[in-house]
Amino acid sequence: MAISVFDLFKIGIGPSSSHTVGPMRAAATFARALREQGLLEQVSRVEVRLYGSLSATGVGHATDRACLLGLMGQWPDQIDPHSIEPRIAQLNASQTLLLDASHAIAFECSRDLLLLEESLPYHPNAMTLEASSENGCLLQQTYYSVGGGFIVEAAQIGQAQDTAEQVQLPYDFDSAAQLLALCKQHQLRVSELMMANECAWRPEAEVRSGLLKLWAAMRECVDNGLRNEGILPGGLNVKRRAAKLHRSLQELGKPNVIGSTLSAMEWVNLFALAVNEENAAGGRMVTAPTNGAAGIIPAVLHYYMKFNPETCDNDIVDFLLSAAAVGILCKKNASISGAEVGCQGEVGSACAMAAAGLADVLGATPMQVENAAEIALEHNLGLTCDPVGGLVQVPCIERNAIAAVKAINAVQMALRGNGEHFISLDRVIRTMRDTGADMHANYKETSRGGLAVAFVEC
């Protein structure tokens, strides 16, 4: 399956790509199918069944709300985050759901939205939607939210991909070794090769404008995170820190204030915290490649744009293209889903992607880009996904800041060498996959182990 940069980077809402964005897309797809098949007006009841990780941490990740909004015909890249609370409040008060924004049906969350302890075999993030009339079932579909907002219908598993997914790329690659060989053979940078591949879907001008639109959304998310204060929702009483830290860092530039030699690192921390606090609050996001790890790539790119006086739009385009190359490798050969391989698949992949993007715009060779990504991912291996309270807050927010700094350090180390190194990126990605397979389910986005349990015991 060919994966585009716009598959990995999607505009959506928080707090989770796999538990919020994916389920909303699945529910909206289901509602659209009812309309397209001429069944919508016959529906009298819809039942939502959540399994595995979607059930275990669904309330904390707003999976329940996402499903309801999707059934209402709302899509994560289009909905106004400020409209969510009024929509849910109205549904709860009236116990009426406007299916596909047009057909009213009775809906009681306690009866029609079920959190089940069982899991389905294909992926931990599974959900089944069933629409019925007075005469019985009209349509039933099972969806899997496989990370990064990607969804797979059960009926599609094992089938050939459709024509859109079978696009012929000029430089198709399934491994880092293949990517490096293609770059060497055709004398291309990683970003140049990725641009040529993206042009198999759309003209170069559209690729560039689309990537700049993603960057604008990332910048808006940071700006919102620097502005908003208060307590994050969910009951943990986690305070937002980005706005206060921003004011403190701005003071460093004033006369008679002694600056810190670590101020650059603090700016990186700031950008990551701002994004992930917005994510935790359910704000407008860009999956990069997931929401739980959405602060890393924007933080590193903001760092580059802020501290390099000679930046331009081409740097943004090249950064995101090179980052996507590594994201594609992680997606194809392991996973970017915390429910499948733990947080190494989310924060680890994002850290490697950010390192690749930064290395490319700093003039690294393809071998150095691969080396930077390898260093970044290698030192996230084994990272568990154990969110306290099932919320994307603790340890997720700080974890993004730590990984953003780690990505920059990985680039610094890679640029000091010639690209030769002991362990290949391909081997590290396979190790991430195997580590995830060996990892106990308690540490894969279920909030049944690790820090989640430690917090409760305290």
Q: Residues 408-417: pLDDT tens digits?
A: 999 999 999 9
- Return the structure tokens found at 350: 């994002």
- Return the structure tokens found at 147: 């990370």
- Residues 303, 359: contact at Cβ < 8 Å? no
Residue 144, strand partner residues: 126, 152
Could you tell me what percent of the chain has a pLDDT over 90?
91
310 burial level (CB within 10 Å; 0-12, 13-18, 19+): exposed
From the list 407, 150, 151, the residue with the least C-alpha distance to 141 is 151
pTM of the full predicted structure? 0.93
> Which residue reads 């505009």 in tokens?
11
Which run of H or of E encompasses 48? strand 45-51
Mean pLDDT of 2-26: 96
In sequence order, what are the residues at sequence separation of 6 or more whose Cβ sits closer than 8 angstroms to the Cβ of residue 179? 173, 190, 193, 325, 329, 366, 370
Largest CA distance in the chain: 78
Give all domains of the chain, ordered by start, each with its CATH number: 12-163 (3.30.1330.90), 169-457 (no CATH)
Give the DSSP letter string of 304-350.
HHHH-TT--HHHHHHHHHHHHHHHHHHHHHS---HHHH-GGGTHHHH
Which run of H or of E encompasses 133? strand 125-133
pLDDT for 160 equals: 46
pLDDT for 165 equals: 54
pLDDT tens digit sequence for 421-448: 999 999 999 999 999 999 999 999 999 9
Mean pLDDT of 2-22: 96
φ, ψ for residue 49 (rounded to 5)? -120, 120
- Return the structure tokens found at 201: 């879907």
Give the DSSP letter string of 377-440.
HHTTTT--B--GGG-S-TTHHHHHHHHHHHHHHHHHHHHTS-S--SS-HHHHHHHHHHHHHHS-
pLDDT at 291 over 60: yes
Mean pLDDT value across the chain? 94
pLDDT tens digit sequence for 211-236: 999 999 999 999 999 999 999 999 99
CA separation for the pair 205, 210 (Å, rounded): 8
Dihedral sign (CA 379, 381, 382, 386)? positive
- Residues 352, 414: contact at Cβ < 8 Å? no
CA distances from 80 to 17, 277, 361, 392, 399 (A): 16, 18, 34, 20, 27
Q: pLDDT grade, residue 252 (50/70/90)? A: confident
Tally: H helices and E strands in the chain: 19, 9
The number of angstroms, rounded, from the C-alpha of 237 to the middle of its chain's C-alpha atoms is: 24
The number of angstroms, rounded, from the C-alpha of 267 to the middle of its chain's C-alpha atoms is: 22
From the list 337, 327, 369, 357, the residue with the least C-alpha distance to 433 is 337
- Return the structure tokens found at 347: 């924060």
Mean pLDDT of 374-386: 97
DSSP class of 143 = E
410 burial level (CB within 10 Å; 0-12, 13-18, 19+): buried
Lowest-confidence pick of 25-29, 155-159, 216-220, 401-405: 155-159
φ, ψ for residue 188 (rounded to 5)? -120, 145
Could you tell me what percent of the chain has a pLDDT over 70?
95
pLDDT at 158 over 80: no
pLDDT for 454 equals: 82
Helical packing angle, 204-227 and 313-333, nearest 10°: 90
From the list 366, 368, 291, the residue with the least C-alpha distance to 8 is 291
- Return the structure tokens found at 438: 């060996």
CA separation for the pair 211, 316 (Å, rounded): 8
- Residues 54, 29: contact at Cβ < 8 Å? no
Helical packing angle, 313-333 and 176-186, nearest 10°: 140
For residue 15, is the peptide bond before it cis, meaning its omega torsion is within 30 degrees of 0?
A: yes
pLDDT at 258 over 70: no
Neighbours of 307 (CB within 10 A): 12
